[in-house]
A = this chain, B = another copy of it.
């Protein structure tokens, strides 16, 4: 009954017996993917491609797009200073020397910066995509050109999906000792097909809600055979993905799809958790008149105190210009609500999966659907009224906006640090369990191994510094590390 305010990048509960994760088939729009892949109908699996150094240890759409992809990666690097500073340090020590990482994530400019950082830190990487639509082909090409063994393209079939993962794991003369996963499909595959690989694996780092859920299930069942790090629930990720990131992506998502002007618009936001708070702050700031629906009294009280009118959806549904769901519940916007909306009302979802808006109820004969743009449908009532439905009710910010690089940078840095920690941890520090990163990861995480210690203190300061925090903090941390003997 309680509100579920987290912004799940991966959706819901799924049993491990399913062959492919639901999230891996979500549609995914990457604004930065400008090139069209439709020019070339040949499956990448059937192509013979070689990068400029003669290697063909990869499988991407078109290796010739590498240069364009390199540009995208360079743009991304501009706003990922924490990773870049981590990389620079690697010229001396290489904390991932010897690490053989098999990874499965979205393949975008930002993850490319992560992958290349891991390589710079000494790791060897083999990579596949965690979603069949989300790969930026140009970026994959750039990675392949740079020598990363990447197997991914936009528009994989389910068979392609597992084939790519398999190509990463199953290679003669190379055996992974670390896993970086996003969604749990890679982990699932290794469990199912190559259980022996776990003998060498020092740990799993998992980012998504879904993947973490799977790991806890394994742990509960006593089947988790290596330590795992839950990156998803780190403070920085939660705060960023929900509050700050949504504050920006609600505007971006609405603008890119509808070019709507926010000033003066009446908007109802369903749910005032972290996601709702972020959306409302942005919309209010740009001059929208925002109403809130909320069933949790504390959140409702916060909405009041923040100057929003708390209403029942029915009270305002006839007058609003935009409806946004962020509750985490099902069918928050029903067919009845949709019937009562005014002409040209925009409806979208920032909350949980694709269930908040009862889109199914709109797939009836009396209503006409008209796709007017990518991710934008006009649903037309018999009297001519149109409702503008975005991303068919799926997550707006995943489908229609970009996630700011800086946000991804924080999660990526956390992933890198988690990999370093698990890889370098002395035996016995971590059992076969799922570990939460300490709340103040910036301060107290990470190796006590003498040789690496100074490095990490410095590194943490770099991260903190990239958040634009201050010298005094550095002093404080330095002092704290001396006093506590921990850092």
Contacts and interface: CB of A to CB of B under 8 A. Distances in A.
Interface of A: 1, 31-32, 34, 36, 71-72, 74-75, 78-79, 235-236, 239, 243-245, 247-248, 251-252, 255-256, 258-264, 266, 281-282, 284-290, 293-298, 300-302, 304-313, 343-344, 370-374, 376, 378, 386, 388, 401-402, 404-407, 439-440, 442-443, 464, 467-473, 476, 480
B75 A258 contact: yes
**Chain A facing B: main interface SS:** mixed
A467 B312 contact: no
A402 B255 contact: yes
A157 B152 CA distance: 42
B287 A306 contact: yes
A239 B298 contact: yes
Contacts of A251: 251-252, 255, 286
Given A78-B386, A467-B300, A244 B259 contact: no
Contacts of A404: 259-261
A181 to B, nearest CB: 25
Contacts of A79: 259-261, 344
A434 to B, nearest CB: 22
Max chain B Cβ within 10 angstroms of own Cβ: one of A235, A290, A370, A402: A402
B297 A370 contact: no
Nearest to A443: B297
Nearest to A235: B298
Contacts of A309: 266, 289
A118 to B, nearest CB: 22
Nearest to A80: B344
A32 B373 contact: yes
A264 B467 contact: yes
A341 to B, nearest CB: 12
B256 A31 contact: yes
Given A251-B251, A286-B282, A310-B470, A75 B372 contact: yes
Max chain B Cβ within 10 angstroms of own Cβ: one of A31, A247, A307: A307
Q: Count the copies.
A: 4
A307 B295 contact: no
A91 to B, nearest CB: 15
A70 to B, nearest CB: 9
A473 to B, nearest CB: 6
Given A259-B404, A296-B440, A304-B467, 20 more contacts: A71-B370, A78-B258, A79-B260, A239-B298, A244-B263, A245-B261, A247-B263, A248-B255, A251-B255, A260-B405, A266-B468, A284-B307, A287-B307, A288-B307, A297-B440, A300-B473, A301-B469, A310-B469, A312-B471, A312-B472
A374 B252 CA distance: 18
B440 A298 contact: yes
Contacts of A472: 293, 295, 312-313
Nearest to A263: B305
A344 B77 CA distance: 9
Q: Please name the 5 residue pairs, one residue from A and one from B, whose CB atoms are nearest each other, closest first.
A: A285-B285, A261-B404, A78-B344, A264-B304, A261-B406
6 contacts: A75-B258, A79-B344, A248-B255, A259-B404, A263-B305, A287-B306
Contact of A372 (B71, B258, B266, B401): B71
A282 B34 CA distance: 28
B244 A287 contact: yes
A274 to B, nearest CB: 12
Given A298-B236, A307-B284, A312-B470, A373 B71 contact: yes
Contacts of A285: 281-282, 285-286
A297 B440 CA distance: 8
A308 B309 CA distance: 12
A74 B302 contact: no
Nearest to A484: B1
A32 B302 CA distance: 28
Max chain B Cβ within 10 angstroms of own Cβ: one of A304, A378, A388: A304
A378 B31 CA distance: 19
Nearest to A76: B259
Contacts of A308: 289
